[in-house]
Amino acid sequence: MKVEIFRRTVKDRKRGNSYELLYHLKEGIEASGDEAVIVNENRSGPTVKGEMTPTAPMAAMFGYGGDRQMHHTKGRRRELADNCRAKKIPLITFDGGLLSSFGNVSTSPDHHFRVSLYTPMNDGNFLSDDSPGDRWEMLVKKFNVKYEPWRKSNPEDPILFGLQPKDNWSMNELDPIDWFNDVYKKLRPITKRKFIVRPHPNNVSNILERRKELPDDIELQYTQKNFVGDEKKHYRFHFQEALNNCHAFITHNSTASVDSCVRGVPTFVTSDLALCWTVANKDLTKIESPDYPEREQWVNDLGYKLWSIKEIRDGTVYKRFKSKLGL
């Protein structure tokens, strides 16, 4: 079987983890005895009409894009996904992000990527429903994951907020300060708890420059304004410390919400794209009395959403998706 891998769903700079991942997938497909073709491998510049039209029985890409982001890389991703859906062609897509505060970061040689069909968020199909617990147990040991019971807080414990950049494809151009201010207006009349607001590591300086647009009674939490080298990685690790003694964590659909649910922190999300959707709270009026859903099947399924570079390169991931799809 032939699989088309769309190289221009990553940036044209031709380097980086996402770029290399597509070539790892090519290795895996070929190791499985099938044909892998890198589409428009050397093209750069503006998108050409028809460039993101699949012709093979299966396609692959990195990431996704919102319907308000039909420009450059994100737009190509969205166009390809829409075309594949219209033609009923399975589209394997990859992304990172889950359990990053435990050490599953892109710079790790044992990084485990999300792998799903069409989109790597909650509306994608990871083919992971009703999975056994073996892979979750493996991830817990590998990354020393702190899987803890739901936390019952004290009255003085604060609420932690996780912001996301506007140009993050999962935000789809939703402004993070507009998002926070809307949530603040709903919460402040019903809780007296301290609000701690944590900017995304890619967006700290922007949030600091707009501090006056945020309410006076919130605390901004960040380790530094700009990041160099591994500093961004350590900021992600610092999220674990930030979760200590929190009453709840609130975000739009950040992958950090997966980490907070694993830690047992009641987590509220405002978008059904969040990968913790099935175990998250959605009703902000219940901020002082959150639900504590059962998580066992959710974490078991999580284990089958994440796959290592080795498993991508040796064909394990490709053969699994091909078999599950009956191809």
Region 309-321: mean pLDDT is: 97
Average pLDDT on 17-41 reads 96
Report the pLDDT value the prediction gives residue 44, as an integer from 0 to 100. 87
Q: Residue 148: which pLDDT band, with cuts at 50, 70 and 90?
A: very high
The DSSP code for 107 is T
The two three-digit tokens of residue 127, written as one number: 């083919």
Length of the chain: 327
As a whole number, mean pLDDT of residues 291-303 equals 98
Residue 140 near residue 309, CB atoms below 8 Å? no
pLDDT digits (tens, 9 = 90+) for 177-187: 999 999 999 99
Q: What is the pLDDT of residues 206-265, one digit of tens each?
A: 899 999 999 999 999 876 656 556 555 555 658 899 999 999 999 999 999 999 999 999
More confident residue, 75 or 57: 57
Whether 111 shows a pLDDT value over 70: the answer reads: yes
**pLDDT, averaged across the chain:** 92
pTM for the model stands at 0.93
Give CB contacts under 8 A, 24+ apart, made by 191-196.
191/159, 191/287, 191/288, 193/156, 193/157, 193/158, 193/159, 193/247, 194/158, 194/159, 194/219, 195/158, 195/159, 195/161, 195/219, 196/158, 196/159, 196/160, 196/161, 196/221, 196/242, 196/246
The DSSP call for residue 48 is P
pLDDT in tens, 9-28: 998 877 888 999 999 999 99
Band (pLDDT 50/70/90 cuts) for residue 73 is: confident
Contact 92, 68 (CB under 8 A): no
pLDDT of residue 168: 72
The domain limits of the chain are 2-128+305-324, 159-294
pLDDT tens, position by position, 85-96: 999 999 999 998
Please report the pLDDT score of residue 200 as a whole number: 87
Q: Which CATH architecture has domain 159-294?
A: 3-Layer(aba) Sandwich (3.40)
CB proximity list for 190: less than 8 A, separation 6 or greater: 285, 287, 288
